[in-house]
Amino acid sequence: MGKTVLIVDDSVSMRQMVAFTLQGAGFEVIEAGDGKEAVSKLNGGAKPNLVITDLNMPNMDGIALIKAIRGMAAHKFTPILMLTTESAEAKKKEGQAAGATGWIVKPFNPDQMLQVIKKVLP
């Protein structure tokens, strides 16, 4: 069975692009429009093998989402990739401290993204 990826981004077009890339590579995809929606989907029983999240989102941003996910027993070790326009080192450090596994700056290259996913998936 294909592995499942949770995509969190407030931009519909970004979610579609990531979903298209991943589905083309055989992944199942769950989408959430912000951190809050993502948390409620995870609490509702979603069991992704990987989370890809934006940083800047309304309601709950990417850093807060990572902290929330790391607080869940089931997802303590689930890999989390940030996918954001942000490329500042300070922000990356903040993400790393919160528990992110990796950082991809937009715009992403589909092949590169799939390679990174292959690397971080358990």
Partner 1 sequence: MNVMTWIVGAVIGGMVAGMGVTYWLMRCRDSCGDREPQVNPVEQQWAEHERLWRDFCDAVSPLLPVLIAQLKVVVEETGRAADGLIERFQTIAQRARAQVEETTQLFGAMTDAQGDGQPTVARLLDETRATMEMFVQEVIKTSQISMKAVAVMEQATDSTASISQMVEEVEFIADQTRLLALNAAIEAARAGEHGRGFAVVADEVTKLANRSGHAVTRIRELTEGVRSSTEAAMRELGVLASVDMTPTLQAQQRVNGFTEIMARKTVMLEENVNKGSERANELADDIAQIVMSMQFQDITRQKIEHVYEPLEKIQFCLERFRSDQNTSHPPDTSLKEAMAFLHELEARYTMESERMVMGQVKQGRQDNVELFATAAAGNGDNITLF
The answer to whether the beta carbons of residues 31 and 7 sit under 8 Å apart is: yes
Site for Mg ion in 31-70 (CB under 5 A): 54, 56
Q: Which of 8, 78, 103, 117 binds partner 1 (CB under 8 A)?
A: 103
Segment interacting with partner 1 (CB under 8 A) among 14-22, 33-41, 43-51, 70-78: 14-22
Binding string to partner 1 for residues 47 to 86, with x set by CB under 8 A, is what? --------xx---------------------------xxx
The answer to whether the beta carbons of residues 41 and 60 sit under 8 Å apart is: no
- The contacts of residue 39 (CB under 8 Å, 6+ apart) are 60, 65, 68, 69
Give the nearer residue to Mg ion in terms of CB position, either 54 or 75.
54
**Residue 34 sits in the site that holds partner 1 (CB under 8 A):** no
Tokens of 73: 């027993």
The answer to whether the beta carbons of residues 7 and 52 sit under 8 Å apart is: yes
Q: Which residues bind Mg ion (CB under 5 A)?
A: 10, 54, 56
